[in-house]
């Protein structure tokens, strides 16, 4: 995930939010069903039950940190609810399949991931607006006397 993810323990609450989406060919409602096998894993991004500090106590909210990684287990369309159900499993950095992805990225970009390499990855994914954002952010961090960076 590339932002904080607010979730609910209750499907009915999540459905209320998911059904607020105006459905079109470009925009579909999605319900994520998240499975967490072990709440005490040390290799995942933090997540927390924030029900007690939330203004909306009835939501029974779980907040997932930026960069949390999930594996897609199943995707199906619920004709009755007219919503996509995506089953996810929380995984950590020690997950074998995730480790293979990191190894592949490190082969492509042997140096530490930078704004530029992230921009290249996003460009290759077709996320041109995001790639431009990260490249501009990187350029903004350079000092006037820094070396010239050629565009990607």
Residue at 23 is within a domain: yes
Query: Model's pTM, two decimal places?
Result: 0.59
Q: What is the pLDDT of residues 93-112, one digit of tens each?
A: 767 666 666 667 667 666 55
Q: What is the pLDDT of residue 86?
A: 94
Residue at 151 is within a domain: no
Number of domains in the chain: 2
Q: What is the pLDDT of residue 32?
A: 92
The SS3 of residue 40 is coil
Residue at 148 is within a domain: no
Residue at 101 is within a domain: no
Check which CATH number belongs to the domain holding 50 and give it: 3.90.176.10
Q: Is residue 129 scored above 50 in pLDDT? A: yes
Given pLDDT bands bounded at 50, 70 and 90, which one contains residue 152?
A: very low
Integer distance in angstroms from the first to the last C-alpha of the chain? 25
Tell me: do 44 and 115 sit in the same domain: no
Please give the residue range of the domain that contains residue 131: 109-141
Q: What is the pLDDT of residues 79-91, one digit of tens each?
A: 998 899 999 998 8
Given pLDDT bands bounded at 50, 70 and 90, which one contains residue 145?
A: very low
Tell me: do 85 and 123 sit in the same domain: no
Q: What is the pLDDT of residue 116?
A: 64
**How much is the average pLDDT of 126-134?**
80
**Burial code of 106-128, b = ≥16 C-beta within 10 A, e = fewer?**
eeeeeeeeebbbbbbbbbeeeee
């Amino acid at each position: 995930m590339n932002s904080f993810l607010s979730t609910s323990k209750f499907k009915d609450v999540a459905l209320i939010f998911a059904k607020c989406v105006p459905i079109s060919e470009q925009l579909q409602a999605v319900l994520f069903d998240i499975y967490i096998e072990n709440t005490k894993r040390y290799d995942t991004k933090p997540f927390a039950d924030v029900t007690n500090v939330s203004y909306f106590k009835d939501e029974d909210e779980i907040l997932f940190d930026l960069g949390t990684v999930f594996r897609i287990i199943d995707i199906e369309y619920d004709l009755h609810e007219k919503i996509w159900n995506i089953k996810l499993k929380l995984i950590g950095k020690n997950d074998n399949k995730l480790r293979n992805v990191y190894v592949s990225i490190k082969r492509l970009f042997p140096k530490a991931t930078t704004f530029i390499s992230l921009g290249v990855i996003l460009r290759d994914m077709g996320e041109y607006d995001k790639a431009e954002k990260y490249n501009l952010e990187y350029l903004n961090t350079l000092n006037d006397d820094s070396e010239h960076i050629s565009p990607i």
